[in-house]
Chain A
Amino acid sequence: MINKKNIGLFIPCYVDQFYPNVGIATLELLEKLGCQVSYPLGQTCCGQPMANAGYERDTIGTTKHFLNTFKDFDYIVAPSGSCVLHVKEHSPTVPGLESEQYATQHKIYELTEFITDILEIDSIQGSYPHKVGYHASCHGQRGLRLASASELHETPFNKARQLLQQLDGLEWIELARKDECCGFGGTFAVTEEALSVQMGKDRLEDHLSHDVEIITGGDMSCIMHLEGIARRNKTPLQFKHIAEILNEAIS
């Protein structure tokens, strides 16, 4: 069924610029899982950095462009919980495109939830013999509910873990604070620099003290921040987007 669907790949602007390998891994992974994927070349940004800074009203043009770019796809998939959440919940209403906007908000998915909930893949064959620490991005975690939240009284689940744990040899490392924020927070990383960096250092310490080899996650923005701090302090940790791990393990 799904292989007949037309899937639009949405690569967040900073991933396009700084992490092309994450885009490539996402595309190759979806192709390996039997999807027909294309990347509309006219795409730009979802508008989140501006909206979270308090300028949602100035992102109507950006939002309109996003809707037009992706209107003909059956699904939109992105390797970012944060950007997907923005499109779903915070993009301003575009006058005249209300129905397109409603459709877009209901056909856009973060990569892991697309694999578990839409493709309904229940077995992934591959090997990845490493100790992996998972950084749950808050927008994926508490925004899109990609995993149960430690604050809520609910049955535990985690879509990323569901996928990663199928890989041979992968050791999923339990952290002391499994869903604490890393301190990236968009413009917060700059406007509250001291706090942002301290929060990042604390997250890294949690992974290090549990002997994590590779930190992974569903949002490169958090990873960029954590990796930036680790590099500066010469901390021996590797960083990969979950798409890179899955794509590498399956091949």
Chain B
Amino acid sequence: MPKTSFLNPFKAIKYLFEKPQTLKYPFETKEIADRYRGFHKNDWDKCTGCGNCADICPNKAITMVEIPELPNKPEEGKKNKRPQLDYGRCCFCGLCVDICPPGSLTLTKDFLHIHFDKKTFTFIPKDEKLNKETYKAEKEYSIFTASLSQRKEYYDGFSPDIRYALFKPDRIEMPEIEPDERKLSFIEQVIGYDKEQAKEEAGRCLECKLCEEACPAHLKISDYIDAIYRDDPKESLEIIYEDNPIPSICGRICMAHCEDACSLHIRGDSLAIRWLKRYAADQIKNFKEELELKPGKPTGKKVAIIGAGPSGLSLAYFLRLQGHDVVVYDELSGGGGIIRIGPPTYRLPLDAIDKDVQYIESLGVKFKFNTKVGRDIGFEKLLNDYNAVFMGIGNTISFSTRVKNSEKCTLALDFLKDNKIGKQRKVTKNIIIIGGGNVAMDVARESIRLQHIQFPEQQVITKIVSLEGWDQLPATKTEIEEAKEEGIRFNPSWGPKEVVLDDDGNIRGLLCKKVKSVFDEQGRFSPTFYENEEKFLEGTMIIEAIGQRADFSFLPEKLFKRLEFTDRKKIKVDANGMTSIPGVFAGGDIVNINMDAVTAIADAKVAAEGINKFLNYD
């Protein structure tokens, strides 16, 4: 025990002569720490309105409110909703900052707010850019007037930091066959997730559902991803089948508008939604045995569908579930339409297409393959025999550049079609592809494979010539990257001028001219060139992949005349998917401008409802 004395305390008297430690607040203030968790600030330009902050808030202090002045662009992953804080509930924990995918929410060092009106404690945070009146410069700011409407500018406290974020910004990498190996054959490039990888990737989903609004067909993405996370691919597939009857196809070649909208992609990688759909579809070996979908009660109505592409297949499925009799006509020997001939085997094998088609067939849809409407059966007969007709014919004729000697060139679709479902084409060692879109990439990558197969271990050259510059190329970034990896050479911003022939009339190369601009002031396609700036590319085979158009030759002339088109040369349909000819519906590439599978499914959904209405089966 220490020695004690009642005199000891007098030692404290020395402190009487020291400077007091107490701050004369508010005249003297303390520097506030850099991580201080005070009032919120939100960068509206970065904020996507995803609502993750509101979901994680333990006190439910955050509500998402709609701001009508803001543009609502779900297709870009931007909603016009912004978080509103209730400072009666907020505990300033900062979970909202750590979960915010774009990193727009920040806590500031401001913490003073005094007001007679309690409504002012509910408030929508903005930042300095948007609200200059609230944020004061250092010399104008005073703690005597500080409040939610008098704050100091650039006074950030607890800020978002991706290293400490509550979500995982990085995608589980998809196992793929290496470029050097895959370019030698048509082996499927993507290997697919295994169970653990799929679960982990699915676990990254924050369930904000921005993707669902961006998806043209509005699949219930968050639900089916969650089912994969819970290790239930069957339930996942059932959810997918509510909106998308071709999961094996879409799981491979969907343009994945959802992934562009994913809130994770702003500071990390978007969720691999397409690969997860593929995973779900691949896990179920036999759709017919495992899925319990049944066609509806027979209605006695008959519908003919022209074209077994994505829109035709989807419509057949939706109508069959309603109980209608559905017959699908297609000139090819199997289902898939343009999907069957376009995407090369290394992206979409025929087995995957057949798996989806066979399931739709098992529900009672009748397929009439190798039957071309207009050649084997008349369009007018269809109109007479069926209660409604749907055209999902797609764009099947390739455009030609029509430069000098272009008739010597190969057309993209013919090339792709022969390679996929016909006899493999003979290629040469030096190929030029004209075009910068996804079809051009398919053609180029298929060419390089054929070159390696037909000229093993020899030097081969594949080049792409496109009007568009590097940043304007319409092909997806992944496609361009993968093409580069495989050794395809790009010549952006060059336009074809003339196909140069040698004395025997064989192709010797392509004469190109420099592009001045591709689009005019209104953003329409209208290329201009520097006529005297030329470049000669050597090549012994040229493939034109500059776009496709639809073939309406099956339509009798008087009907074709009644068909109305839009300014962008697409078939005009009403809100029910019906064309200007009553009873004739349309969808897919001939109607929408996206020209991809998932938009075709969306068209089919509209048409399915329209046809139901038309047949009085709402």
* Co-complex (A, B): no
A→B interface (CB under 8 Å): none
